[in-house]
């Protein structure tokens, strides 16, 4: 017994069926990708944008940390005059040291935020560690290689506090976090 495929082929000895009208080719329609594929594509784009912004901001922080002279040198006299005028107007006295400490904290808040957003939620501590290590390396480089700059541990602690604030904001603003807080 021979196997003959079934289908439009005529069997030997049978009458072939009359020819059918040609079937038109199916019309191709653009079907949207399944939701999980769209989400994956959006998350890839979002991750790429976050990575690029983190690298760009890190380059800016490194520029400030490794600048051969103090970055506030051109503005130093203006800053002191402005602080003195604010004191004359009756605002609480803010010294240059307080302003510099606030700037050290503020410099690392965005970096901590961006670094934490790149990592998995349970790896927030890696962002804090990376930011603090970056600060420590920058201060060490200032002390060893930049004669006009002074590296100190207080700046590392202030930068770490800024990174901690940024990491804390990133953890609180995670997309799934709001739902858990509302319940």
State residue 108 phi and psi, 5-degree precision.
-100, -5
Residue with the larger pLDDT of the pair 42 and 96:
96
Q: Is residue 88 part of a domain?
A: no
Question: Is residue 112, in this structure, part of any structural domain at all?
Answer: yes
Residue 95 near residue 79 (C-beta atoms within 8 A):
no
pLDDT of residue 13: 63
- 147 is a domain residue: yes
In the chain, helix, strand, coil percent, each to 5?
Answer: 65, 0, 35
What residue numbers bound the domain in which 130 lies?
46-68+97-182
Domain membership of residue 24 (yes or no) is: no
Length reported for the chain: 183
1 in any annotated domain:
no
In the chain, the number of structural domains is 1
pLDDT in tens, 110-163: 999 999 999 988 999 999 999 999 999 999 999 999 999 999 999 999 999 999
Q: CA–CA separation, 120 vs 52, rounded Å?
A: 17
Q: Is residue 58 part of a domain?
A: yes
What gap in Å lies between CA 57 and CA 54, rounded to an integer?
5
Q: Does residue 8 fall inside a structural domain?
A: no
Tell me the C-alpha distance between 45 and 51, whole Å: 10
Rounded Cα gap, residues 107 and 34, in angstroms:
42
pLDDT digits (tens, 9 = 90+) for 31-64: 666 666 665 666 888 889 999 999 999 999 999 9
């Amino acid at each position: 017994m021979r196997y003959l495929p079934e289908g439009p082929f005529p069997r030997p000895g049978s009458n072939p069926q009359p020819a059918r009208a040609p079937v038109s080719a199916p019309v191709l329609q653009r079907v949207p990708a399944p939701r999980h594929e769209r989400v994956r594509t959006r998350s890839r784009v979002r991750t790429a944008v976050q990575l690029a912004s983190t690298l760009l901001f890190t380059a800016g922080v490194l520029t400030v940390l490794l600048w051969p002279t103090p970055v506030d040198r051109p503005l130093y006299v203006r800053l002191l005059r402005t602080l003195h005028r604010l004191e004359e107007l009756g605002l609480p006295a803010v010294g240059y040291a307080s302003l510099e400490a606030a700037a050290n904290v503020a410099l690392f808040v965005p970096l901590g935020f961006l670094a934490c957003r790149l990592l998995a939620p349970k790896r927030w501590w890696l962002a804090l560690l990376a930011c603090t290590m970056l600060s420590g390396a920058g201060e060490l480089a200032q002390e060893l290689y930049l004669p006009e700059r002074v590296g100190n541990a207080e700046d590392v602690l202030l930068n770490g506090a800024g990174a901690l604030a940024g990491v804390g904001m990133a953890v609180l603003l995670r997309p799934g976090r709001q739902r858990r807080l509302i319940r």
